Amino acid sequence: MPGLEDLYREIILDHYRNPRNRGELPTPPAVRVEGFNPLCGDEIVVFLDVADDRVQDLRIGGQGCSISQSSASMMSAAVKGKTVAEARATIRAFKSLMSIHEQRLDGADDDGAGAGAGGPSVPEPEVKLGDLEALQGVVRFPVRIKCATLSWNTLAQGLDEAQETSATPS
Amino acid sequence: MALDVELVKKDFPILDQLVHGHRIVYLDSASSSQKPAAVLDAMQQLYETTYANVHRGVYSIAEESTRLYEEARTKVAAFLGAASTREVIFTKNVTEAINLVAYSWGRSNLGPGDAVLLTEMEHHANLVPWLQLKAERGIELRYLGVDGDGQLILDDLEQLVAGVKLVGLTLVSNVLGTLNPVAEVARVAHAAGALVLVDGAQYTPHFTTRVAELGCDFYGFTAHKMLGPTGIGCLWARESLLEAMPIFLGGGEMIRDVRLDGFTANELPWKFEAGTPPIAEAVGLGAAIDYLLAVGMADVRAHEIELTRYAMESLHERHGDDIRIFGPPDAEKRGGVLSFAYKDIHPHDISQVLDEVGVCVRAGHHCAKPLMRRLGVGATARASLYLYNDEADVDALSSALTSADRLFS
């Protein structure tokens, strides 16, 4: 049975106690997107400044549990300064890290090699998750996966909106 | 005679196990209660000996199954102090009971501009069906507010109720534990010509329910919060109201005759029970009522008051200003529902850390988002007490909070 130490790793608690990139950005030029977890009432606000196809800056607002807040904080550190394509690849890699449980339920095999129990079954090539891998323990607590992915889904929505905005001639 | 919790605990098989190596401490009965062996056995016995569909077969086990199903209705009628079994409609839960009223009575009595008065502390089950009517029919919704102690603000009741056709309110708040003065509200509502619908989900499991004394017109409760199975609840309403109301769901069982060009509805109470009903669940509910009556509802409530008082005092004593318990401070004026904030630790994290030592509490908005906004929080942790809880359970919660503090501070 998974223990609390699998969930609350030190790096997660550090990001929870000292969240990075907390705050707001002026809109425009930034876009502001909100994400809600209807199960627990958590909400996250992502301010995203995308220019020249790159995440120039982002800030995180809202409130939530240690998992949702630390995940958002780590996410902000991971994608700030990255190109939109790199940010999207990071989102895919992170969500794949979070989807191990679902894949097992689907009966999908991870080719019998490589990633063992608890490891990412579909590694996204070229993406180094670094600190974010500390959140891997969350998949052993299925109810909490939505906490960890809330900010990432919100970021994905923000990237879509930012790209739509820049694609629209003003 | 005081309730013997040690004996009661032995009746609940699920409580005799370890979670993460710790004795399970179940403090989430406001969400759903655990079931005594008597309920499980009654359902198992039905399935193993006399199960068949009801109101159909003429063979002996079908007759026995029908008899047991209707006997459960008789037990419910007595448990509520109903005038007749014709007033007792089996539903899936309170949500369905309220939806039945909103669809059947609401859609034949409410039109544009008609007003319904609710409260800010309602469960979504007593909000959304009326919000649907607002969107669909343009009815007006008014709300009784909640004060800092979690009590309904009744100062403006007479003005708010003027011209209202229905007042809908919960008897005990599933978040604050507040015991609302329903009889008083009902008197004012009736004087203004309004009907009164009461959500009894958190009341009937813990109190002696007498619908006549409450003075309501519609009353809903659910079995799974009072030691019974999921999938069955009840709408009680005055017979004259039910007679006048159009049918809700259509299908088998609820008809007297069906032709290709029309149908005639069945008589009460079957008029509102379409399709094969939850038969074993009704039997389980009957067994739960028998169990509660054997313990004694007065003792169930007395135990709740005593343990709620102990919980509030001991939590405050140990944690001081670090804990904020929402709702009325007086145990006599509330149910055993304790929503709390602890330091600035998120309820999800509290609940997760408590689980590590076998303590089960709910974390979230408790299906009462408007009330959460009113309290200025996104979510709360909630411990709720029932007849199988004791001081040791409260102490386990209290100690576990200290562990949460160590982890997150």
Smallest Cα–Cα separation from B172: which of B79, B94, B282?
Answer: B94
How many domains would you assign to chain A?
A: 1
- Interchain CB contacts (distance < 8 Å): A and B: 48
Q: Are B123 and B169 in contact (CB under 8 A)?
A: no
What class does CATH assign to B5-28+296-408? alpha beta
Alpha-carbon gap, residue A12 to B61, rounded angstroms:
60
Q: pLDDT category, A119, cuts 50, 70, 90?
A: very low
Q: Which residues pair with B22 in a beta bridge?
A: B19
User: Is B256 in CB contact (< 8 Å) with chain A?
Assistant: no
Q: Strand order in B195-199's β-sheet?
A: B88-91, B233-237, B218-222, B195-199, B164-170, B115-119, B140-144
Given a cut of 80, whether residue A23 has pLDDT beyond it is: yes
Token pair in block for residue B228? 């019974």
A40 and B378 in contact by Cβ < 8 A? yes
User: Is B193 in CB contact (< 8 Å) with chain A?
Assistant: no
Q: pLDDT category, A164, cuts 50, 70, 90?
A: confident
Angstroms from A33 CA to nearest CA on chain B: 18
Given a cut of 60, whether residue A101 has pLDDT beyond it is: no
Angstroms from B132 CA to nearest CA on chain A: 19
Q: Are B378 and B372 in contact (CB under 8 A)?
A: yes
Q: What was the pLDDT predicted at A166?
A: 72
Q: What was the pLDDT predicted at B376?
A: 87
Q: Which of residues 84-123 of A touch B (CB under 8 A)?
A: none
Q: Are B72 and B285 in contact (CB under 8 A)?
A: yes
Alpha-carbon gap, residue B95 to B83, rounded angstroms:
23
User: Is A61 in CB contact (< 8 Å) with chain B?
Assistant: no
Q: What was the pLDDT predicted at B356?
A: 92
Work out the angle at residue B99's Cα, subtended by the Cα atoms of residues B193 and B301, and round it to the nearest 5 degrees: 80
Range of the domain at A132: 4-167
ipTM tops 0.85 = no
The mean predicted confidence, pLDDT, of chain A is 81
Cα–Cα distances in Å, from B44 out to A97, B64, B228, B279? 43, 15, 13, 12
Alpha-carbon gap, residue A118 to A169, rounded angstroms:
46
Q: Are B119 and B143 in contact (CB under 8 A)?
A: yes
The torsion of the CA quartet B58, B64, B69, B75, rounded to 10 degrees, works out to: 140
Q: Are B252 and B276 in contact (CB under 8 A)?
A: yes
Work out the angle at residue B123's Cα, subtended by the Cα atoms of residues B118 and B129, and round it to the nearest 5 degrees: 65
User: Is B369 in CB contact (< 8 Å) with chain A?
Assistant: yes
The torsion of the CA quartet B213, B215, B217, B222, rounded to 10 degrees, works out to: -50
Strand A31-37, strand A42-51: pairing: antiparallel
B216 is catalytic: no
The mean per-residue pLDDT over the stretch A32-52 comes to 88
Give just the sign of the alpha carbon dihedral B327, B328, B329, B332. negative
Chain A CB contacts of B379 under 8 Å are 40-42
Flag residues of chain B having pLDDT under 70: 1
Token pair in block for residue B293? 């009556």
Q: pLDDT category, A122, cuts 50, 70, 90?
A: low
Selecting from A1, A41, A66 the residue whose C-beta is nearest the C-beta of B349 gives A66
Longest dimension (CA), chain A: 56
Domain B51-293 in CATH 3.40.640.10: yes
Please count the CA atoms within 13 angstroms of the CA of B253 that sit on its side-chain side: 18
Q: pLDDT category, A150, cuts 50, 70, 90?
A: very high
Given a cut of 90, whether residue A140 has pLDDT beyond it is: no
User: Is A65 in CB contact (< 8 Å) with chain B?
Assistant: yes
User: Is B406 in CB contact (< 8 Å) with chain A?
Assistant: no
Chain A CB contacts of B407 under 8 Å are 4, 8, 13
Q: Which of residues 118-147 of A touch B (CB under 8 A)?
A: 141, 144, 147
Q: Which residues, at least 6 apart from B284, have a Cβ–Cβ distance to it below 8 Å?
A: B35, B39, B40, B42, B43, B223, B228, B229, B232
Token pair in block for residue B157? 């009741």
The mean per-residue pLDDT over the stretch A14-39 comes to 89
B379 and A4 in contact by Cβ < 8 A? no
Q: Which residues pair with B178 in a beta bridge?
A: B334
Smallest Cα–Cα separation from B187: which of B154, B214, B160?
Answer: B214
Q: Are B202 and B173 in contact (CB under 8 A)?
A: yes
List the single residue in B with minimal CA-CA distance to A36: B378
- Phi/psi zone of residue B231: left (φ > 0), alpha (ψ -120 to 50 degrees), beta? left
User: Is B328 in CB contact (< 8 Å) with chain A?
Assistant: no
List the single residue in A with minimal CA-CA distance to B370: A41
Domain ranges of chain B: 5-28+296-408, 51-293
Given a cut of 80, whether residue A110 has pLDDT beyond it is: no
pLDDT tens by residue, A50-93: 999 999 999 999 988 899 999 999 999 999 999 999 999 999 98
Selecting from A8, A39, A65 the residue whose C-beta is nearest the C-beta of B346 gives A65
> What's A68's domain CATH number?
3.90.1010.10
Helix (H) or strand (E) holding B404: helix B391-408
CB atoms within 10 A of CB B109: 14
Annotate B83-133 with DSSP letters as a single string.
Answer: S-GGGEEEESSHHHHHHHIIIIIIHHH--TT-EEEEETT--GGGTHHHHHH
- Choose from B22, B339, B348 for mutation: most chain A CBs within 10 A: B348
Angstroms from B395 CA to nearest CA on chain A: 21
Alpha-carbon gap, residue B381 to B349, rounded angstroms:
9
The mean per-residue pLDDT over the stretch A97-113 comes to 51
